[in-house]
Structure 1
Amino acid sequence: MTQALSDLTQALLSVAKAAGADAADAMARSGTSVAVDMRGGTLEHAERSEGTEIGLRVMIGQRQACVSASDTRPETLEAMATRAVAMAKEAPEDPYVGLADPDQLSARRDAEGLELADDAPEPAPETLQEDAARAEAAAMDVAGVTKIDTASAGYGRTEIFIAATNGFAGGYSRTQRSLYCSAIAGEGAGMQRDGDGDGRLIQSDLRSPEDIGRSAGERAAAMLNARRPATGRYPVLYDERIAGSLIAHLLGAVNGQAIARGASFLRDALGEVVLPESLSLVEDPLRKRTSGSRPFDAEGLPTARRTIVENGRLTGWTLDLATARKLGLTSTGNAARGLSAPPSPSTWNVELTQGSVTREDLIKQMGTGLLVTSMIGSTINANTGEYSRGASGFWVENGEIAFPVQECTIAGNLRDMLKRIVPANDARAHLSRVVPSLLVEGLTIAGT
């Protein structure tokens, strides 16, 4: 399959040059996916899809345009190139547009050694159905659970190939196996919903259906009789499963596009303390068996481990070629792209320094406050860092969980919040965002 994708990208480059493009890059992607949904012990939905998609970006001077298609016939490729060149001629000039220089390109052209694709055969639909049914049954065995919202299992395999007129050509495969269960506890207006799931590149790494289903049921049942918490300033402990959202705000603020626009609350923070000085934030796109790993970026540049925050201090921005040129810097090898849009900067696998205490230790330390396990909605001011989000979880009194809470709002300022985080030691190492539970003192909670 990879060879066919290689041929497609080279054909796209050839027709682009013939149509008048000065430079071009092309992407071809093919994939297979299978998914099943169970409800009430019966199969509710089953789906299988296969397809190949192609994307082309052409440049004429400092103008560019992107087109995509799911038809790979030669006449379609020619029509794509003609259309893209016509669009580029009408596009505004951008002084930062351009492919990488040949000496910037990655020598690595595949993902050998990263274990991104499972050698095991594609699971049969019956296997997926059985996994979803087992998760559903385990959730229903939990006291208080009244029904299952959904239990889903899926598998996917994707092949990708990228080529450009600067000489780059490379591709790799990726698989994904997933299982999810959402349970409902209680009845009527008192119903509560929560879930659990797992997604892995390698099927044998996936958690058992019983573990996932039981966890989903227990999470839903634990929220029964939830009420609104008190209003005031309290410590807030972000549970591990949602703590990554805080670090996501930091990553968004150091994205090169936000910096180039001046739309970041960290735009003037390079070299300054943005996290506690005991913490670092490291990106590693070459971690094995991890969904965010990749051997090269979408512009053919090598990916490499880098420190975004070192001992609390911000060391640099996340850059692709265009944003790097705009800022007078060098790309960090973080270009990502879809089939119908030009590259933009994105982060891969990141890991925050873990603490030396458990989540339970932090619960005891916080005394009275809020343990957040889920969040909805958000009002985030990218320029100032003003932060407000809806939340639910558990109220903590005297260092112990007292009762479940819902319908409250947490507010603060991200720049201040990030400097005060206290990490637990419970991050899951297989995730692409390895972030433990995080305690933040002195946030405003709006409840009753």
Structure 2
Amino acid sequence: MTQARPGAKRAASTARSPSSSSSTCAAPQDGFAYSREFFADLVDHALAHARKLGATDAGADASEGCGLSVSVRKGELETVERNRDKSLGVTVYVGQRRGNASTSDFSPAAVERTVQAAYDIARFTSEDPAAGLPDAADVAPQESHRDLELFHPWAIDSEQAAQLALQCEAAALGTHRRITNSEGAGVSAQQSHFFSAHTRGFRGGYASSRHSISVAPIASLPGRGGEMQRDSWYSSMRDARELAAPEVVGRYAAERALSRLGSRKISTRECPVLFESPLAAGLLGGFVQAVSGGALYRKSTFLLDSLGQQVFPEHISVAEDPFIVGGKGSSPFDNEGVRVAPRQVVEDGRVQGYFLSTYSARKLGMKTTGNAGGSHNLQLTSRLTRPDDDLRAMLQKLGTGLFVIELMGQGVNYVTGDYSRGASGFWVENGEIAYPVDEITIAGNLRDMLLGIAAVGADAYTYGAKTVGSVLVNRMKVAGS
């Protein structure tokens, strides 16, 4: 029986697609119905009307998004979707009372009605001592707004997108005779822009893009009760010229599905667990959620009062950098117009900073960290990692234990840290994959899991705004048959 090794080279996340050569880095308004200047006037009109009504402070945000999504299945076109949306959001403060309203109608009368609605809501809500715009000292000045090259429109039509999707699916189906079906392949090209301003001196906005190719093939194994295994892969980039070739995405997704054929159950036990790098980003995400402002001021986190505390082993650090050119989590300011900066969130395993918006910072008696809207390009690293610590090396470090490539369910309790999720992957013996396993559950506590990180691979993978290699946790409970 031929099986593809799940640690096959991740060319699908980096290879360039020759089919995307028509992509161009055009002017920021290409493909948009509204200009930045129009949005600036729209926002200014909203703020002026708020002042006229007697608002203490106000903010407004005008945005537009558009794109194309195409899906195919079994060699046939399934859907072609074009989306275009627009919105004006207005926030009004009357003292420490806050009101918010939005509209998709950009006419002057509609803008004024929206401001009036937000003002009326603010008048009748209860006071909140933490409510209000950011302090002027925290606002990012216009001269500090960097061009981070986040906007790369993709000049692709529905026919071209369908052709790329068909190539991707065909590559998956042609990888091996045991790839017998497909849940389909898709191509998406999305772009948006916005302009925001408020009465504490902030003015700014930018355009951004996100494009992707994906496929989900199904492998089957005759003679085992019609066993079928599904897996998927994708490539997602801001610049379509950096997308993986559709054939590479398709073949790698097929190899992953093939590698899972012949899965077995295992008995319940405790053992070390190696998380594949895309899943390891989820562990980092769990930490971020646990030290974010909302969870902290509500006291609904297992990492309450963790500033300065040992949460990871000493060899682990977590860095945040909002200014990575083209980064998926890059931004010259946060969602409130607050200045952002690179920082160490975790150093030598100790928490150096939380993720706070203006509101959550005030609730905690602290200063905003510029994280309204989320984190910016996090990277988890270990000083024990060597350049040759690829997946094969990480399997050797695992020794005998479980290598997880898929998680199911949302079984994480952030109040207690309890962690329990369905999983599938591979049983590893003496550093070598022995056989695939499924229908198991892995369980532990996030506090123990984070402290129990024994190694981080050099096979770094960027999942959304988080970059991390495969992560080895020293011990977890595995529930099987």
Match of 2:376 among 342, 348, 352: 348
- Aligned-pair distance for 1:91? 1.3
What stretches of structure 1 of length at least 5 have no aligned partner? 337-345
SS in 1 for 2:409: strand
For 1:264-275, list aligned pairs within 5 A: 264-275=301-312
Match of 1:327 among 355, 359, 364: 364
Contact 1:110 1:170 in 2 (8 A): no
The yes-or-no answer on 1:168 pairing with 2:183 is no
Contact 2:131 2:359 in 1 (8 A): yes
The yes-or-no answer on 1:95 pairing with 2:95 is no
SS in 1 for 2:411: strand
- Aligned-pair distance for 1:67? 1.1
Contact 2:185 2:215 in 1 (8 A): yes
User: 2:293 maps to what in 1?
Assistant: 256
- Which whole-Å CA distance do the structure 2 matches of 1:227 and 1:9 have between them? 59
The worse-fitting range, judged by mean Cα deviation, of 187-196 and 72-81 is: 187-196
User: 1:442 maps to what in 2?
Assistant: 475
User: 2:6 maps to what in 1?
Assistant: none
Contact 1:116 1:289 in 2 (8 A): yes
SS in 1 for 2:205: strand
Q: Deviations over 1:74-104 (max 9, x none)?
A: 1211111111111112212110111123332
- Which whole-Å CA distance do the structure 2 matches of 1:312 and 1:103 have between them? 31
User: 1:339 maps to what in 2?
Assistant: none
RMSD between superposed Cα atoms in Å? 1.6
Match of 2:104 among 67, 70, 82: 70
- Aligned-pair distance for 1:112? 4.2
For 1:248-327, list aligned pairs within 5 A: 248-327=285-364
Q: Deviations over 1:334-368 (max 9, x none)?
A: 112xxxxxxxxx21210011522222122122222
Q: Deviations over 1:150-197 (max 9, x none)?
A: 100010110011110122110100011111111111177511111000
- Which whole-Å CA distance do the structure 2 matches of 1:388 and 1:161 have between them? 42
Distance change >3 Å, CA 430–CA 317, structure 1 → 2: closer
SS in 2 for 1:191: strand
- Which whole-Å CA distance do the structure 1 matches of 2:431 and 2:226 have between them? 30
User: 1:129 maps to what in 2?
Assistant: 162
SS in 2 for 1:380: coil
User: 2:239 maps to what in 1?
Assistant: 202
Contact 2:89 2:100 in 1 (8 A): yes
- Aligned-pair distance for 1:110? 8.0
User: 2:430 maps to what in 1?
Assistant: 398
SS in 2 for 1:322: helix
- Which whole-Å CA distance do the structure 2 matches of 1:109 and 1:404 have between them? 55
SS in 1 for 2:428: strand
What stretches of structure 2 of length at least 5 have no aligned partner? 1-34
Q: Aligned letter for 2:413? A: N
Q: Scaled by the length of structure 2, what TM-score is found?
A: 0.88
For 1:31-180, list aligned pairs within 5 A: 31-108=65-142, 112-118=146-152, 121-143=154-176, 144-180=178-214
Runs of 4+ in 1 over 3 A off after TM superposition: 108-113
How many residues are treated as equivalent by the alignment? Answer: 438
- Which whole-Å CA distance do the structure 1 matches of 2:154 and 2:276 have between them? 36
Match of 1:408 among 440, 445, 451: 440
Q: Scaled by the length of structure 1, what TM-score is found?
A: 0.94
User: 1:378 maps to what in 2?
Assistant: 410
User: 1:193 maps to what in 2?
Assistant: 230
Contact 2:142 2:202 in 1 (8 A): no
User: 2:42 maps to what in 1?
Assistant: 8
Q: Deviations over 1:54-77 (max 9, x none)?
A: 111111111112111211111211
